[in-house]
Structure 1
Amino acid sequence: MTYMTELKKQISASLRKDLEAGELILPSLPEVAMTIQEEVKKKSSTAHSVAKVIMLDPGLTAHFLKVANSPLYRTKNAVKGLPEAIGLIGINSVLNMALTYTMRTMFVNTEGPWKKVLIQQWNEATELAAIVTVLADYIPNFDSDHVMVAAMLQNIGVLPLINHLQHFPDLEEEDVEHLVEENATKAGLALVKLWGLGQSFGDVIKARRNWNFESTESLDTTDLITIARYHYMKGKKRLSECPPPSEISAFRHLEKLNFSADMSEQWIDSAREKIRAIKRMLSM
């Protein structure tokens, strides 16, 4: 057995042990995001009271204005004020938008030998988010900003794993990618729990690369993201890594609404410009 193979086995075993024992170091939700979370939950919260919290962070303020003027919220005139942006986005969606900024900041600020792997995972997450947002436009009863954030959260477990693996610069990039994929779901679940984001986001994490995960018997957010992931993989010419649509429960749930896999592909093809715009909004 080579040195690298043995090292990889030791690291893999150590990661699993730390995850099961709750000892993997996880990034805390930034204070401003926690404060927003608390403010949004108040019955007395308003666009102005939420804006006061957001204004504590100039970067977050700029992010909200950018989102309000993005293709997600088509307005005739540019949105220039934060309370106006929050009124447009909606108080119930404020935390979701704060999470997109928080995740982006954490991915951007992480340095080390495996930054490239982290960027690849972030780019995948933003493309999934853009695709699923477009899909949500065509199907009733889906909140586009909720599904967008949920799609980005699917890869959030990568963050603490890469932070941990920065201590092993001698690993091969392929080994790092394997270790990340092997442990991303457990790490993501631990992070969602720490951040207090709720069971619905936990189900989204469980569905990561689990093509037949079913949280309900009807089309839900996890299904929509699975469908988006299939189309993402197809666009990257990686269909060999996916089962056919007929064997994916998400597509069967889609068919119950009288939609098909071909139709979902047509929706995506007709919205390429919006997908590119959303990716630009979320990019590093």
Structure 2
Amino acid sequence: MDEQLFLTELNEAIRLDQITLPTLPEVALRVCDAMERETISAADIASMIATDAALSARLLQVANSPLYRGRTAIDSVQLAVARLGVRLVRSLVVSLATQGMFQARSQGLNSRLRQLWENSVQVAAISRVLAKPLKHLETDQAMLAGLIHNIGALPILVQAERIGLEDEQALETLLDRLSPSTGERILSRWGFPPSLVAAAKHFNDFTYDGGPLADYADVVVVARLESLLGTGHPDAARDWEMIRSFEKVGLATDIEIVELEGAQEEINDVNEMFLG
């Protein structure tokens, strides 16, 4: 299918409310907005989260997961915010809220979105591991970058089902070419910082270079390629030596992430947290 025609029809469907761009739940938006105010307290953040019972339960579950649990169990949202810190809780709230977007009523579309979510979780897990030694980056922001890196695929898949596009190769081409710009559009509307918007905009841009230090886009580029090893995806067969993000992240192109000490355990923990 013609790429420009599909994009035109996608934009028209959005304009006519035939499909809608993904939006964060109200509580996640309130938490993000509140974080911009210097006077906000941990108790205020906890009170906001507590208004959403499902999100509160998931946050407590994650706070007691192997990645974050301390010596004693966390049994309240307020204690979770106090122990984990407001910045980490914000990343977790947005990460947990994102999961609900990868669902649909149609069985066919729901299956696609489930696969997309599983792929995103794998990229998120690897991103978290890659960011650990990079002291200027936050591991949980890297994980969030991995989770939302392909958010632009959601409306594309919805539109493809709406118009009955069944050509798998054509759909893959559309996703590859249009997901980055669509993801940039979505995250910009959410008010995400440029560092995370860039991760969605450049996740399959192998010439990307945002500066001398690795950023979240670099981390996601490398994490995504590592996640594709053994899948037969054409990007896995690229010459990784030519991709500067590997050098900036500090990972040799001939090393699989799972070979690093403790990496597989942490990847499994993230997968369990979001897929378990």
Length-normalised TM-score, structure 2: 0.87
The aligned counterpart of 1:132 is 127
The aligned counterpart of 2:274 is 282
> Is 1:85–2:77 an aligned residue pair?
no
Match of 1:100 among 90, 95, 114: 95
Aligned residues with identical type, % of pairs: 24
The aligned counterpart of 1:42 is 37
The aligned counterpart of 2:264 is 272
**Within-5 A mapping of 1:111-126:** 111=106, 113-126=108-121
> Is 1:17–2:12 an aligned residue pair?
no
Amino acid corresponding to residue 65 of structure 1 in structure 2: L
CA contact (8 A) 2:202 2:208 kept: yes
> Is 1:177–2:201 an aligned residue pair?
no
The aligned counterpart of 1:153 is 148
Match of 1:211 among 192, 206, 210: 206
CA contact (8 A) 2:126 2:257 kept: no
CA distance in 2 between counterparts of 1:177 and 1:114 reads: 14
CA contact (8 A) 1:135 1:264 kept: no
| Number of positions where the alignment pairs a residue of Structure 1 with one of Structure 2 | 272
**Within-5 A mapping of 1:169-248:** 169=164, 171-238=166-233, 241-248=236-243
Given the superposition, is the C-alpha separation of residues 165 and 268 from structure 1 closer, same or farther in structure 2, using an over 3 Å criterion? farther
Gaps of 5+ in 1: 1-7
Please give the root-mean-square deviation of Cα atoms over the aligned residues, in Å.
2.5
CA contact (8 A) 2:10 2:159 kept: no
CA contact (8 A) 2:196 2:216 kept: no
The secondary structure found in structure 2 opposite 1:87 is: helix
The aligned counterpart of 1:166 is 161
Q: Deviations over 1:48-88 (max 9, x none)?
A: 11111111111110121122112331412221111111122
Amino acid corresponding to residue 171 of structure 2 in structure 1: V
The secondary structure found in structure 2 opposite 1:156 is: coil
CA distance in 2 between counterparts of 1:167 and 1:239 reads: 27
Length-normalised TM-score, structure 1: 0.85
- Note the C-alpha offset of 1:44: 2.1
The secondary structure found in structure 2 opposite 1:17 is: helix
